[in-house]
Amino acid sequence: MYINRLTLRDLAEWQPTENMTDITLRWGKGPTLKEILPVFKRWRQLRRLEVNFSEKSALPFEVLSDFIMEMKHLPHLHITIHYGDAGQRKILRDKVKELILPRRLNFKFDIY
């Protein structure tokens, strides 16, 4: 699904359904990933989440690691950030690989 201008209200109105296990969400303008991740914590049946968005600010490691550790039922997270700092994404990827993935053995994490 692609949304030009995403709002937190739009996401808050989504109701988790038992048959929705794979979500790909792309947006151009709107909230940061830090603001959106808590919405998906309600989706207990979610098995794959891909987010693709434009953001210049860095995603804090603590926010991402908390999300990954709390979403024990989610085995795959794919993040694509347009216009962000490639060096920051590499640091984030390396931290997740070193500190989080050993605790989530079958978890697949991609960030571009």
Start-end of H helices in 1-112: 8-13, 33-40, 61-70, 86-95
Q: How far apart are CA 32 and CA 45, in angstroms?
A: 23
Give the H or E element holding residue 80.
strand 76-82
Q: How far apart are CA 101 and CA 81, in angstroms?
A: 21
pTM: 0.88
Q: What are phi and psi of 96, to 5 degrees?
A: -65, -45
The predicted structure's pLDDT at residue 18: 66
| pLDDT digits (tens), the chain, 112 positions | 667 778 888 877 777 666 789 999 998 888 888 998 988 888 888 999 999 988 777 789 999 999 999 999 999 999 998 877 788 889 999 999 999 999 999 999 999 9
Q: How far apart are CA 87 and CA 49, in angstroms?
A: 23
Q: Which residue has tokens 């950030």?
A: 81
